[in-house]
Amino acid sequence: TKAPIAKIADKVSGVFVPVVISIAVITTIVWMLLGKEFGFAIARGISVLVISCPCALGLATPVAIMVGNGRAAKKGILFKNAAALEEAGKVKIVALDKTGTITAGEPEVTDICPAEGISEKQLLQMAYSLEKGSEHPLAKAILQKAEEEGMENEEVTEFQALPGNGLEAVRVADQAKLVGGSFMYIQNLSEVSATMTERAEKLAEEGKTPLLFAKDGVLQGMIAVADVMKEDSAEAIRELKEMGIRVVMLTGDNERTAKAIGEQAGVGEVIAGVLPDGKEAVVRKLRKKGEVAMVGDGINDAPALTRANIGIAIGAGTDVAIEAAEIVLMKSRLSDVPQAIRISRKTLRNIHQNLFWAFFYNTIGIPLAAGLLIPFGLTLNPMFGAAAMSLSSFCVVSNALRLNTIIK
């Protein structure tokens, strides 16, 4: 896919060629009308054609993009196309998913809070049976805890995942309807005591995610799960802010948990309780305020990745997220987000420099080739024009290769 600036360069080249041919013909005719010999006049026209060959203009963009892309690949940053490499540098807002992006995506069970009359083992067993069919990182934490306790999976049917809300299933043994999910979702289905509500709020303020479970409409208890912050998350977010980029965190967690994680990571703007389609809607609104890059790793992030100006997928994420994004961070490090933006900005600056010199060269060279200095006794031999044309291409390519030393 061609970058926008490459398309513009192609259009300019398309117009440039017929214009130059016209200038060469006019130059030849003018010198003949001034009484010069045909050989002299045609030499001036040929000099114009030779010195204005648009090689430098044609090389200005693709060589810089090739070098920038190569340097990025060596650092584990994959730009899927030239347009992504160019557009990433224009980003003004970065929206970050929480789980698996800011955090490691490897949560652990921290608290098991059964309801009255229910044991911790019964609650964990129920949660294990329900979460067995889920691929969410939080579900994996419960499965790991249950397997450590040596629990056996109880068969369930009619399993249904409700993105951003929870899970539903029917236990085969007693035909009980099992439901699990976020606090907001479960409180609409069953009565939650004031004690359990207070405990959930306290856990959320600690940065933990409380998951509630109910059977046949009766609350069975709550399991709190906490995810570990990636080592480079806070530093990456700080770098983005220093680059003048607005950072927003999007998550399906409740507001207290989200704010706690946001404070740890240094994100000032947190949007919590967002469902998958809600993330896409938030990105759509953010786009009205500037170029948006969405960073995510899960299936739920795919709509937002597609909606953003630039979608950035964590390499360890799902295939759907990677397919939906234009940039893939192969090392799964959040610090590669500001790095990708810096590479894009430096590459774009290099392209602008190349285009400037290509146009500047032709602006100076064409009048000289046409005979501007002949009244002063100076003429440009077509062979020197060819050498100058080659030198301009050499300068443009050399400037593009300079990116190898600029991009650290």
- Catalogue the active-site residues: 97
What's the CA gap between 137 and 179, in Å, rounded?
18
Distance from C-alpha of 178 to C-alpha of 172, rounded to nearest angstrom = 11
Q: Which residues contact residue 55 at a Cβ distance below 8 angstroms, ignoring those fewer than 6 apart?
A: 389, 392, 393
Q: Which two structure tokens, joined as six digits, stand for 377?
A: 């006794």
Cβ atoms within 10 Å of 76's Cβ, excluding its own: 15
- For residues 97 and 253, what is the distance between their CA atoms, to the nearest angstrom? 11
Q: Are strands 156-162 and 166-171 parallel, antiparallel or unpaired?
A: antiparallel
Count of C-beta atoms within a 10 Å radius of residue 369: 30
Nearest CA-CA partner of 346 in 6, 89, 7: 89
Containing 51, the helix (H) or strand (E) segment is helix 38-51
Position 46, amino acid:
I
Name, in order, each residue with C-beta under 8 angstroms of 59's C-beta and a sequence gap of 6 or more: 354, 393, 396, 397, 400
Evaluate whether 286 touches 95 at the Cβ level (below 8 Å): yes
232 DSSP 8-state letter: T
Helix ranges restricted to H, 308-381? 319-324, 336-370
Residues 6+ apart with CB under 8 A from 62: 6, 82
Measure the CA–CA gap between 325 and 9, rounded to whole angstroms.
26
Q: What are the residues whose beta carbons fall under 8 Å from the beta carbon of 295, sequence distance 6 or more?
A: 94, 95, 96, 97, 101, 312, 313, 314, 334, 337
Q: Quote the Cα angle for 267-268-272, to 5°.
A: 80
Residue in the structure block whose two tokens are 């609409």: 188
